Chain A
Amino acid sequence: MKLKIGIYWGAACGGCDVAILDTHEKLLEIADKADIYLWPLATDFKYSDVRAMKDGSLDAVLFSGGVRNSENEEIAKLLREKAKVMIALGACAQGGGVPGLANMYTREEIMRRAYIESESTDNKEGVVPLERSTAGPGYDLELPRLYNTVKTLSQVVDVDYTIPGCPPASLQIYSALGLVWDDMLPKKGAVIGAGDRALCEECPRKKSEKTITHIYRTHEKLPDAETCFLEQGFICLGVATRAGCGSRCIKSWTPCRGCYGPLDDVADQGIKMLGALASVIEPKEEAAINAVLDSVVDPLRTFHRFSLASSILRRRKE
């Protein structure tokens, strides 16, 4: 019997959806195995269609994007009711992703910058979107509430599996879907469509003992073609990041920023990386160690680029 699946996005960019499309001819195989009952990027189903479904009627839902507003949360909960298997797709659903960096600010700071202060905005009256507004008698309009804190999918609903990545590698999505229709899904809670070791294990660059005396930004020094970025003083999150991406950034001469998320049993990817970095700094006196660490220009957005919303920091203290 053909499976029924739904694909949805919360606070996302559509990159996960395009990664599904980028399975190319394998998309025909996906369409052969499963009927799609919701996929805003590619098909025309409405929320009312989903509400009309019986609970548990979807075999699997792939949910990309973080939970940024009341609509994201409402649809996440609705899809959880309809789905036998709920899969967090991509870095935003897993850890908040890049949009999770909004947790460095308050809701009001973000609204003010986006709708009033930005250089390309002409809004002298300071009009901002409201949850309830009226455009004249009888024209009452509603918008979702923008949350102060970006949440991950698992912070609002029970998540069965996670496919990491920003975006997840297309063939990894395909192989993870294969686990659904072949009834081969592992233990609940597992990360699927990715490796179980650190990215360093699959990275083609040469590694030896790491001793770091200075942190370089990528414009300050040309890296050599063969040596581990971290050994050359460039911050690379490979040691704290799950393998499975195919070393995409590394092969483009760009150090890892951690989009495949933490390994199993790591509570906080950014803190894990900070610990790894601290252990390979060569000076051992406190002042000299601090001098090396001070050369990291933007630690929060470097170590928690994709995982701030799921980290133990989670958001700026209020």
Chain B
Amino acid sequence: MKRIAIDPITRLEGHGKIMIFLNDEGSVDNAFLQIPELRGFEKFVEGLPVEEIPRVVTRICGV
């Protein structure tokens, strides 16, 4: 099966790629959006003093 990778997806904040699978006729058989990124804010803000939260979670997205 032929594969087309759109890597990276551009003009957005964050990381992503699209994998497209073509069938024997060359038509799109299936496509997947993949997010190849995780930083872990969900974990490392645990237990952070509440007054410090605004200056940390603003670094989730700077756009």
Q: Which chain A residues have a beta carbon within 8 Å of chain B's beta carbons?
A: 9, 11-18, 40-48, 68-69, 71, 97-99, 101-102, 104-105, 109-111, 113-114, 118, 129, 135-136, 138-139, 141, 143-144, 146, 166-167, 217-219, 254, 257, 297-298, 301-302, 305
B8 touches A41 (CB 8 A): no
Residues of A within 8 A of B44 (CB): 101-102, 104-105, 110, 301
1/0 per position for B12-34, CB-CB distance to A under 8 A?
A: 11110001010000000010101
Given A13-B61, A41-B13, residue A114 in contact with residue B7 (CB < 8 A): no
Within 8 A of A (CB), among B1-53: 1, 6-8, 10-15, 19, 21, 30, 32, 34, 36-44, 46-49, 51-52
Once bound together, how far apart are the Cα atoms of A116 and B48, in whole Å? 21
Residues of B within 8 A of A136 (CB): 30
Residues of A within 8 A of B47 (CB): 298
Once bound together, how far apart are the Cα atoms of A110 and B37, in whole Å? 12
Residues of A within 8 A of B30 (CB): 135-136, 139
Partner of A114, one of B6, B43, B59: B43
A129 touches B62 (CB 8 A): no
Once bound together, how far apart are the Cα atoms of A219 and B53, in whole Å? 13
A113 touches B43 (CB 8 A): yes
B11 touches A68 (CB 8 A): no
Partner of A105, one of B6, B11, B43: B43
Known: A102-B40, A167-B62, A301-B56. 19 other contacts (CB 8 A): A13-B13, A13-B60, A16-B62, A18-B62, A44-B11, A68-B38, A69-B38, A102-B44, A110-B38, A110-B43, A113-B43, A138-B1, A146-B38, A166-B59, A218-B51, A257-B55, A297-B49, A298-B52, A301-B48
Residues of B within 8 A of A12 (CB): 62
Partner of A44, one of B1, B10, B14: B10
Residues of B within 8 A of A218 (CB): 51
Q: Could you give 24 example pairs across A and B, Cβ below 8 Å?
A: A16-B62, A40-B15, A45-B10, A46-B7, A46-B8, A69-B37, A97-B59, A101-B56, A102-B40, A105-B44, A110-B42, A110-B43, A110-B44, A129-B38, A139-B1, A139-B32, A141-B34, A143-B36, A217-B49, A217-B51, A257-B52, A301-B44, A302-B52, A305-B56
